[in-house]
Chains A and B, each alone.
Chain A
Amino acid sequence: MRRSLLIWLCVCLLTVSAFAADLGYVYDDADLYTDEEETKIIAAAEAVYSESGLLCVIVTDNGIGDMLDMLPTYAGSAVDMALLTIDMSARQFDLYQYNAVKGEGAFRISSSETDTILDGILPDMADGNYADAALLFVQLAEESFTNTEAFDPAVPGDGYEYNEYYTPEYMAPEHDYPYVTEYEPAFSIGTVLFPLLVGLFAGGIAVLCVWGSYKKKVHGATYPLGQYAKLDLIDAKDTFITKNVVVTRIADDPPHHHGGSRGGGGFHGGGGSRGGGARMGGRSF
């Protein structure tokens, strides 16, 4: 936490001279890369930035919170950024995309491309080849970014949420999204009957709990072991026997419904011309 705050402070100070300073590519607080590996990753990321304009950033740490508010800081003067976070304490990695909006919100890496990137680097991450995973991330991010066929303006990944702070240049998508619904209260017998039955049940449970506790004659432990017994452990063996893995296919999520004025993680205003970031989805390894 202290380290995160320190990074945040440093990054804020750097932002003051963001346009003059060099862009940051690797923030390796979890010490996953050797100096040589880090140099290699930075070189690859620099090449991608100079060729396509996509800033690839990798942040590693032992505990990473919500990055959405920090994306503009990491992006600095870059317009488009793909940021990979690796949280070693939770053993999770995640992909964020950022676009400094100038004219329209444009997320150039689609939802399916995000899955491709994350699934692509998963084996290396699981095997502990973090440098290879980082290089692959840079490569796949560039491929997705330059693939204009999958370009999906203003729709970050699987969801879209309206941001009240961002209005001037927002362009609504042409097709309808079922996210905004009108509120029409509907009253019926069922609306009351079901809660009534649940209420009666809850009342009965409460009465039973009180009755049970008052009928109980003995209160508390009659021989508190922690107080009266002392254990001196002389042997402890934990023997591994076997392991099995079950794979379950996850069903697709139903479409999300959101209220008309609810803000969310899709867009975060960062001043008049600053754009938005999106959390694209994470993986455990």
Chain B
Amino acid sequence: MEISLTVNGDTQSADVEPRTLLVHFLRDQLGLTGTNIGCDTSSCGACTILVDGQSAKSCNLLAVQADGAEITTIEGLAGADGLHPMQQAFHESHALQCGYCTPGMVMASISLVEEYPNLDADGVREGLEGNLCRCTGYQNIVKAVLSVKK
């Protein structure tokens, strides 16, 4: 099927097999491999991207469902002026170790802060429940997200 969508500001048109997962489309067809796959049950959140500004698990969408959507992946955040504030906060708070969950965690955090600007630490923890990290124990991730909020 033909789909047309905007990814990180660029218009993309492609022919996709109807069963293609959005995450595989982004990774395998567009070469945007920053979005990772950590599970097959939409439990881990490693594949989180922004679809029309809201966080979504891209393993849980078909590419054809994204027809007409505006998508932002981790590759779309940093610009000539450096890292996105959330990426910078993760860096400064040591909120990543192996980095595999990080793109999804950063995207989910951006969306969370956007939607709920006044969250406290407990709110951040609840808000990131769908994004698993095995390395950091979350403490520094929460710290990073709270620092951006301020």
Q: Do these two chains really belong together in a complex?
A: no
